Homo-oligomer: A and B are copies of this chain.
């Protein structure tokens, strides 16, 4: 880097740290999280909440800087919001769930926390990802602080167990994946991601990896057996059924339909006509590949979803070979997947009739905007982490340079629009905290790659998996 660039870079980082400091939410005098957006927000919306998924990058930064207290307070307070009773009820959050967000409210000069489990959210979507992210943050906290005692407290062990029970419980279907309603994760509006979306499956796998380590330290055997049952099945299911590269596309393209019985090759009865196979064949680089967005009965969503793919690399849900192929497709299809702002939340956007049907005509998710093919700076840290894990440092450097050239000047918007991410998001808030922390965290991970271990897991091999506490 040239001297001038370095000065500018330092200046931007300094500003970002100051903004992060200002975003900290205090509750009864203690810091407990970060607010979603710093820009004065529209009345009646929820940008003044602390979102669990938004806090992830803040948490990792605080842990890297040794500010364990904020993360510890966050974990303690959100845990208190987790329902612990089995209700056999409806319209009350399920036992084990962690809210999407919370805010501090003041009544008669008494502060209290108000949680939102989706019962107030637009379209009443349920945040399935929160409880999975919560375990991942807890693991990172223990890993960074070495404070395993914190996670061994009975209420924390119970919190982990309830989440595991909710996720591992018997449901109607027989897949190892989690069935969720549309919009149950970072994409929290309808976008055709009902069923078994990749993001949820990657988060589930990462949470299982983290929970396993945390529970083993407490000596809990039964639930660990449940986790050990699920991990290999989930891994195999995703690596096989979700994988798309030119070889796999060749197989899918020649699938026979209507196969009955256990010898069926086309187990999900996918019809190749439902896939834009010609476009896809042209788009796939020889050495590249990625995990599909969703797989279900006669359903193969071939959109590329960034968070699910990057997280699959970090938690080794994708194999080493697949991880390299994912990084390779990002590099080879850079204009489509990164363009002028790292990086696209999904590609391509759904347009025309697909837009109408998938989103229900959602004006916020018009083609190449917001969740529907928009670019989200927060993904920069995940791209950087995945690049580092797979040894593609230059790719991360290139992405960070692009982000640095625009984010501060554009006042840290929530998202960007357009096929290349050249437009500031139509309804984007400015000073969005996870835009700021995504950038800072990418920087920190470049400087101190050892912190990758807070969020990264090696290949899981049931036969050689440790059964003693190594935290």
List the interface of chain A (C-beta within 8 A of B).
44-46, 86-97, 117-126, 128, 166, 168-176, 179-184, 189-190, 194-195, 223, 225-226, 229-230, 233-234, 237, 257-262, 264, 267-271, 273-274, 296-300, 352-354, 356-364
Contact: A179 with B176, CB < 8 Å?
A: no
Q: Across the interface, which residues of B come within 8 angstroms of A237, CB to CB?
A: 90
Q: A182's contact among B183, B233, B296, B354, by CB below 8 Å, is which?
A: B296
Contact: A297 with B124, CB < 8 Å?
A: yes
**Protomer copies:** 2
Cα distance A353–B357 when bound, in Å? 9
Contact: A274 with B91, CB < 8 Å?
A: no
Contact: A125 with B297, CB < 8 Å?
A: yes
Q: Across the interface, which residues of B come within 8 angstroms of A90, CB to CB?
A: 174-176, 229-230, 233-234, 237
Q: List 11 A-B contacts (CB under 8 A).
A: A88-B170, A88-B226, A90-B229, A94-B172, A94-B174, A119-B174, A124-B268, A124-B297, A271-B361, A298-B360, A357-B358
Contact: A174 with B44, CB < 8 Å?
A: no
Tell me the smallest distance from the CB of A191 to a CB of chain B, in Å.
9
Q: Across the interface, which residues of B come within 8 angstroms of A117, CB to CB?
A: 174
Contact: A172 with B180, CB < 8 Å?
A: yes
Contact: A360 with B270, CB < 8 Å?
A: yes
A354 (CB) vs chain B CBs: closest residue: B357
Known contacts A123-B268, A260-B44, A260-B45, A274 near B360 by CB under 8 Å = yes
Q: A260's contact among B46, B92, B226, by CB below 8 Å, is which?
A: B46
Contact: A297 with B260, CB < 8 Å?
A: no
A177 (CB) vs chain B CBs: closest residue: B90
Q: Across the interface, which residues of B come within 8 angstroms of A183, CB to CB?
A: 297-298
Q: Across the interface, which residues of B come within 8 angstroms of A299, CB to CB?
A: 182, 190, 360
A226 (CB) vs chain B CBs: closest residue: B88
Q: Which 5 A-B pairs have the closest CB atoms?
A: A90-B176, A88-B226, A123-B269, A94-B170, A298-B360
Tell me the smallest distance from the CB of A275 to a CB of chain B, in Å.
9
A83 (CB) vs chain B CBs: closest residue: B170
Cα distance A299–B170 when bound, in Å? 27
Q: Across the interface, which residues of B come within 8 angstroms of A195, CB to CB?
A: 181-182, 194
Tell me the smallest distance from the CB of A95 to a CB of chain B, in Å.
5
Contact: B168 with A88, CB < 8 Å?
A: yes
Contact: A44 with B297, CB < 8 Å?
A: no
Contact: A298 with B123, CB < 8 Å?
A: yes
Contact: A356 with B91, CB < 8 Å?
A: no
Contact: B93 with A174, CB < 8 Å?
A: yes
Cα distance A120–B261 when bound, in Å? 4
Known contacts A120-B262, A261-B44, A271-B361, A297 near B181 by CB under 8 Å = yes
Contact: A122 with B182, CB < 8 Å?
A: no
Cα distance A46–B264 when bound, in Å? 14
A87 (CB) vs chain B CBs: closest residue: B170
Known contacts A126-B174, A174-B126, A120 near B362 by CB under 8 Å = no
Cα distance A326–B353 when bound, in Å? 30
Query: Which residue among A123, A274, A353, A358 has the maximum number of chain B CB atoms within 10 Å of its CB?
Result: A123
Cα distance A361–B274 when bound, in Å? 5
Q: Across the interface, which residues of B come within 8 angstroms of A298, CB to CB?
A: 123, 182-183, 189-190, 359-360, 362
Q: Across the interface, which residues of B come within 8 angstroms of A181, CB to CB?
A: 172-173, 179, 195, 296-297
Query: Which residue among A87, A128, A166, A174 has the maximum number of chain B CB atoms within 10 Å of its CB?
Result: A174
Q: Across the interface, which residues of B come within 8 angstroms of A172, CB to CB?
A: 94, 97, 126, 128, 166, 180-181, 184
Contact: A86 with B170, CB < 8 Å?
A: yes
Q: A297's contact among B189, B223, B264, by CB below 8 Å, is which?
A: B189
Q: Across the interface, which residues of B come within 8 angstroms of A169, CB to CB?
A: 86, 88, 169
Known contacts A172-B181, A194-B194, A229 near B89 by CB under 8 Å = yes
